[in-house]
Amino acid sequence: MLDIYAGKSALALIEKEGFQQHVFSSFLGASGGPKWFSLFGLDKYLFGHFFSNRSQSLNLIGSSAGAFRAACFAQNDPVAAISRLAKFYSETTYEDDVTPMAISNSARVLLDRVFAENGAQEVINNPVFKAHFLVAKSNGLVASERKSLQIAGLVKSYALNRVNRRLLTKQYERFIFQNANSTLAIKDESGFATHTVSLTDANIKEALLASGSIPMVMLGIKNIPGAPNGMYRDGGIIDYHFDISLQNSPGLTLYPHFSSQPKAGWFDKSLKRSVNTHNYDKTVMLVPSDAFIASLPFNKIPDREDFTKMTTNVRIDYWQSVLRQTDALADSFKEFLKQQDLSKIKRLS
């Protein structure tokens, strides 16, 4: 049901210490919209049991859907929070002629439901589970809300990225909106300027919305409090599945992901370009197996195209069926932890 991969250093430490929660100091959550539903059962188990009663710091690093997940995990009741996100996200509906403004407004409603009464404050003040929301500040044409200009900017980004990912650094900057007590730093070989901003009451919702504001699909977020004026968009533009090195994070990184082949940025999705395996040396990935994915309705994990390719009722039934079926991944992980059969761990390469 569940495939487990580990980098060389990660495997060496696990062989020495065992697969225990204390060996991890960071947690990654990728972009991908409803693809995250394939990890729901794991998320509930990881933060309801595996990491429960933890006292040492755990950095929660996410972009887009991964940032929303991080915002759930840093609340006092992470299982209730992630369950709210799954329920309300899976039940989202749009009109046929939906606009970017309508989708953005719907995301605001979703965010309020996920945070409920005190969730935002709990995330800001959590001394152990430290949230980091990755956001892409967009410069030049990609900062425009005029459709024609934004399209031109994105086409330019796509073309530049095909040549070299480094060529995107003039169009985008990475902003990390993070727990004020975080000491985490990101080393980026691609050369993106990286800035950190402390999460506050004034910016937490805007920062989280920005991290999930998909170009052309949603409106960008302008002038987030505490950050320089400008247009902020989906963190997955730069950090789709991550190709970064985490600094000041001495332990391993746990990364539940829907694919064993991560892509660095949004514009790499259609490319064969691989991430730097050195950046995954201390990473453990938990990935739904091909057999598990084949067992799902339609033999696939959910994705955003389901909104247009399926009727509303079919899509909601399908998505919620996937959410239920992912409890099997949690059972598979629990069995692995019980047996500690490290021969089942595959090397990341």
Note the pLDDT of residue 332: 97
The mean pLDDT value of the chain amounts to 96
User: What CA–CA distance (Å, rounded) separates 106 from 124?
Assistant: 23
For 154-173, the pLDDT digits (tens) are 999 999 999 999 999 999 99
**Pairwise CA distance, residues 82 & 117, whole Å:** 15
Tell how strand 24-29 and strand 252-256 pair up: parallel
pLDDT tier, 151 (very low <50, low <70, confident <90, very high otherwise): very high
pTM listed for this prediction: 0.96
Each residue of 291-303: pLDDT tens digit? 999 999 999 999 9
DSSP string, 9-51: HHHHHHHHH-S-GGGEEEEEE---GGGGGGGHHHHHHIIIIIT
User: Distance (Å, rounded) from C-alpha 34 to C-alpha 308?
Assistant: 14
Q: Which helix (H) or strand (E) holds 222?
A: strand 221-222
Q: What gap in Å lies between CA 205 and CA 189, rounded to an integer?
A: 29
Rounded to whole angstroms, how far apart are CA atoms 184 and 282? 15
- Looking only at the bridges linking them, the beta strands covering 185-187 and 283-288 are unpaired
Tokens of 246: 């985490």
Which positions ≥6 away from 105 have C-beta within 8 Å?
Answer: none
Tokens of 69: 């997940």
Cβ-count burial of 329 within 10 angstroms (0-12 exposed, 13-18 middle, 19+ buried)? buried
DSSP state of 238: T
